[in-house]
Amino acid sequence: MSQESYSEGDLRNTGMSLKHDREWDYELDRIVEAVEERDADKVGLQFPEGLKRRGPRVADDLREILPENVTVLISGQPCYGACDLDTFLMRRTDVFVHFGHSPMKESDKIIYVPLFSNVDVLPSVDRAIDEELEGDDVGLVTTAQHMNRFEEMREHLEDAGYTVHTRKGDDRLTHEGQVLGCNYASADIDADQILYVGGGKFHPLGLAMEHPDKKVVIADPVNNVLTIADTEKFMKQRYGAVHRAMDAEKFGVIFCTKIGQGRWDQAEEIVDNNDNAYLITMDEVTPDRLRNFDMDAFVNTGCPRITTDDGPRFHKPMLTPQEYRIAIGEEPLDALEFDTFHGTW
Ligand code: SF4
């Protein structure tokens, strides 16, 4: 990450100094306020994987400004999204803070601290304008990380002469123009090209697969890289998994118990209609945890990214629910679509 500067806004008013340098605004003032309001004696902090190493520093800063009787607990559970709240810690603390994602579902109990990136996005938008965007219309989407710059990007594109199409997706998304790794509903717009501003390989791939009729231009502002989404290799990987599962008899159907990753209807439908399908419940879905199950293939109804990003790491083919239907002959192979997730809990 290139963000070296950080905001101290959260402590400026308290007169406290920070023990550690921070790149982001952890909004400690909001946490302190909630502790006072609720007369809390336990505060739970949850960080996504990429920010866990910062947990102890944030806890240090908090302990310095909170009353002495308040205990700060840090979640050690894996966390990859706002769909993935540590409900155990949430139940056992008076204030629960989820860092790094925008809310999937608001609750009085939870404080969401999104931790926006402060990287300048406009140079990569300019590159997209110069090198890849065509015509007069463009759709604009980004990840939660750059959501704070969304209006700036829109205005910049408008100033360059584009009509910018945006929309808020469905309930799973907080902001207009926001996409998740499992939900691209905000890209259902009336334009032949979409500018995706953000990092990573899989978000824009999912976007391109969900909207095969559109050109998806990927502008990564952190690494200053501009690319066009190419789904071919990814599709080959998915076709491979489906083919390998076509002879399967026993299917392990995974129902994920993480709060925002459960798709019960889909899991139930499979086991209701197939006596050789077994429902397996679990929170974290990993190759190690599935290795001891004697199955020919698995169907993942939890986070779609587990299937697509980690699929090749499992000892048996890992399918999306639709890929399962293709493997057992209920749908044709060319119907294959990206697995998306809608709704919350
Ligand atoms: S279910 Fe969606 S929001 Fe949750 S980790 Fe997976 S891709 Fe991200």
Q: Is there an atom of ligand 1 within 6 Å of 251 CB?
A: no
User: What value does the mean pLDDT of the chain take?
Assistant: 91
Which residue among 205, 305, 310 has the greatest number of ligand 1 atoms within 8 angstroms of its CB, and so is best to mutate? 305
* 159 CA to centre of ligand 1 in angstroms: 34
Q: Is there an atom of ligand 1 within 6 Å of 302 CB?
A: no
pLDDT tens digits for range 182-201: 999 999 999 999 999 998 77
Nearest CA to ligand 1 atom 2: 182
pLDDT at position 107 over 80: yes
Ligand 1: atom nearest CA of 104 is 3
**Average pLDDT of the residues in 261-270:** 97
Q: Is there an atom of ligand 1 within 6 Å of 81 CB?
A: yes
pLDDT at position 11 over 70: no
pLDDT at position 3 over 60: no
Most confident of 8-17, 194-203, 293-302: 293-302
pLDDT at position 30 over 90: yes
Which residue among 84, 207, 308 has the greatest number of ligand 1 atoms within 8 angstroms of its CB, and so is best to mutate? 84
pLDDT tens digits for range 222-236: 888 999 998 998 899
How much is the pTM?
0.88
Question: Would you place residue 23 in the very low, low, confident or very high pLDDT band (cuts 50, 70, 90)?
Answer: low
Q: What is the 3-state secondary structure (H, E, C) of the chain?
A: CCCCCCCCHHHHCCCCCCCCCCCCCCCHHHHHHHHHHHCCCEEEEECCHHHHHHHHHHHHHHHHHCCCCCEEEECCCCCCCCCCCCHHHHHCCCEEEEECCCCCCCCCCEEEECCCCCCCCHHHHHHHHHHCCCCCEEEEEECHHHHHHHHHHHHHHHHCCCEEECCECCCCCCCECECECCECHHHCCCCCEEEEECCCCHHHHHHHHHCCCCEEEEEECCCCEEEECCCHHHHHHHHHHHHHHCCCCCEEEEEECCCCCCCHHHHHHHHHHCCCEEEEEECCCCHHHHCCCCCCEEEECCCHHHHHHHHHHCCCCEECHHHHHHHCCCCCHHHCCCCCCCCCC
pLDDT recorded at residue 161: 97
Ligand 1: atom nearest CA of 83 is 4
Ligand 1: atom nearest CA of 172 is 3
pLDDT cut 70: percent of the chain above it: 93
pLDDT at position 254 over 70: yes
pLDDT recorded at residue 117: 85
pLDDT tens digits for range 31-52: 999 999 999 999 999 999 989 9
Q: Is there an atom of ligand 1 within 6 Å of 303 CB?
A: yes
* 305 CA to centre of ligand 1 in angstroms: 7
Which residue among 112, 180, 266, 285 has the greatest number of ligand 1 atoms within 8 angstroms of its CB, and so is best to mutate? 180
